[in-house]
Amino acid sequence: MEKNAKIYVAGHRGMVGAALVRRLTHAGYHNLLVRTSGELDLREQAAVADFFAREKPDYVLLAAAKVGGIVANNTYRADFIYENLMIQTNVIHQSHVQGVKKLLFLGSSCIYPKLAPQPIREEYVLTGPLEHTNEPYAVAKIAGLKMCEAYRAQYGSNFISVMPANLYGPGDNYDLHNSHALPALLRKFSEAVAGGHDRVQVWGTGTPRREFLHVDDLAEACLHLMQHYNDPEPMNVGPGEDLTIRELAELIAELVDFTGDIEFDFSRPDGTMRKVLDVSRLHALGWHHRIGLEAGLRAVLASEEWRAAVPRRSLVPQSAG
């Protein structure tokens, strides 16, 4: 991408979009195009068409989406499939209409079958049933990557798709009811220490395995792919390393100096039992993640954003030594 190219970052206020803006700005891209949802509702076809016709971006990074944790996905199933289908359909189609040079679509690792072989390779899409709790969201994301493939096949559009692992880092959601597992656990354990509690309850059995990618690593990977990847197949992005939810809880407990008991609520859903991405194709392109999980969590706990998000927190993370 040329440094003066007009780059539209859809969803720039979200966790991924904000990370993309930070990375692009740091790399010297100065002609970034952004709109808030109040300025441009990406669910509205006519509004998106007018925006693209007027602004004519050279490149598009599609990070706008309705996202949430296991409870939100399972509760607001209609909202998740409708809003995500509308957003990506409008942006992908108008990128074609206005001749965008290249588009990157942000998908999700939840597109893969619930019982997919591990580690999960990109070709496992649509080879088995999905996890029920987030199926509507996953179906929408599958439709997005298939749209990119279809526009490439019919029109020659250079549209690529990226499937990231579970994300954390700046811009995360720490609401206990609507967040993902990692930020919810950060809040639970920190508030337990601040409140002097000796017990923390963790949803599920603690046995599912997950991998976690710092959002700044994802942004760096996306820029790398915009510069070096032009193939139709989706690309996994992750560390390629996983741990159990129990191990994650124990790590967080150590980082915030929680010394009480960890209890697991077996009445809560586990979701997919293991989900670790095969990132060999990404490694072959010369990109590897830089931020280890422990270092990434320490950075989160030391940030001003974390202090603002969880005002009751009164701890400072232990020193790296």
Q: What are the residue numbers of the active site?
A: 137
Query: Residue 103 pairs with which residues in a beta bridge?
Result: 60, 159
Nearest-angstrom CA–CA distance, 287 and 225: 9
- Spatial CA neighbour of 34 closest among 44, 43, 24, 45: 24
> Residue 320: CB partners within 8 Å, gap ≥ 6?
295, 298
Residues 6+ apart with CB under 8 A from 315: 190, 193, 194, 256, 257, 301
Instruction: Output the known binding site for substrate.
Output: 188, 203, 210, 270
Tokens of 190: 């920190």
How many residues are recorded in the chain? Answer: 321
Q: Could you tell me the two tokens for 281? A: 């194709």
Q: Could you please report the per-residue DSSP string of 70-139?
A: HHHHHHSHHHHHHHHHHHHHHHHHHHHHTT-SEEEEE--GGGS-TT--SSBPGGGTTSSPPPGGGHHHHH
Structure tokens at 266: 């077996």
Report the distance separating Cα 294 and Cα 296, nearest Å: 5
Residue ranges for the binding site for NADP(+)? Answer: 11-17, 106-109, 141, 164-167, 180
